[in-house]
Structure 1
Amino acid sequence: MNKTMKYKLKLDYTADELKELKELSKAYDSPMYAISKLLIARTHSVENLQAKYFAIGHEDEFDLMADINNVVMGTAVFPNKLYIVHDKATDHYIYYNELLDNLRWSQLRIPDKKTKKEWLEINPAYEPMLEEVED
């Protein structure tokens, strides 16, 4: 069985940059063409990635090229969005209680972060209370 390797993105990306990376994977079947798009001045649809490329140091250029290669070739693993559960009516959040090894509600604790899928597997009723957070 030939199993394709998957690779985590090497650099951190904003939500807009991730969206542009995904668009590159739809528009190009060659990583070299996708990378060359970043080098063309005022190319539409990749402005955020262009800004990232021009702002990064030389030591990060290879990581950017590797990420673009993996995205275009379909071997990239995109980061999961993380969420907290916030009950706005009571202003309480769900946090993990290590002593009791379970989830609890509190205003004073650091909220637990999970993917949307993980929260909904625990309780589908959490969906309206989910708030996206930075990892």
Structure 2
Amino acid sequence: MKYKLKLDYTADELKELKKLGDHYYSPMDAIIRVARADAVSGPFRKLRLRLPSIAVDEEFDFMADINNVVMGTAIFPEKMYWVYDSVTDQYLTEYERGVYGWFRWVGKNKRAQRTKEEWIHINPAYESMLVEVEE
């Protein structure tokens, strides 16, 4: 069974989480490595710096996420994209929901975001116009 990550992570933290799965075979080893007091540098620095800011009631979720990553049962969030026309400097937006919605071109307000696969399914021509949503 696969599990979604319980906490929200920055892009850098997600990269480090993925590395944990490559470096460790034991979830406990990975948790100990991230929690080590002297681990302020190295390959898992962002996760280590995140640890003090995690609320007490979220610590178990953090450990569960590490466990799921190392065990290969974690589902990472999908990257989201906007469709951007650089010629007109406009983005695609939805203005009425249907099966795929109705779209129109607008400025930066209310840009529609979907996964790459969803955009390509709607119109394969959008692939060259995709811009990754920044956090």
Please say whether Structure 1 and Structure 2 have the same fold, judged by a TM-score greater than 0.5.
Answer: yes
Deviation at 1:91, TM superposition (A): 1.4
- Unaligned runs of 5+ residues in structure 1 are none
CA distance in 1, matches of 2:55, 2:107: 41
TM (normalized to structure 1)? 0.88
SS, match of residue 48 in structure 1:
helix
| Paired residue type of 1:107 | G
CA distance in 1, matches of 2:90, 2:12: 30
Tell me which residue corresponds to 1:90.
88
TM (normalized to structure 2)? 0.88
Is residue 10 of structure 2 the alignment partner of residue 14 of structure 1? yes
Q: Over aligned residue pairs, what C-alpha RMSD do you find? A: 1.8
SS, match of residue 132 in structure 2:
strand
CA distance in 2, matches of 1:108, 1:74: 38
Which stretch has the larger CA shift, 91-100 or 66-75?
91-100
| Paired residue type of 2:72 | G
- Unaligned runs of 5+ residues in structure 2 are none
CA distances 1:55-111 after superposition (whole Å, capped 9, x unpaired): 212121111000001111111110001111111210121111217742222237511
SS, match of residue 95 in structure 1:
strand
SS, match of residue 58 in structure 2:
helix
CA distance in 2, matches of 1:86, 1:68: 35
Tell me which residue corresponds to 2:32.
36
CA distance in 1, matches of 2:97, 2:122: 20
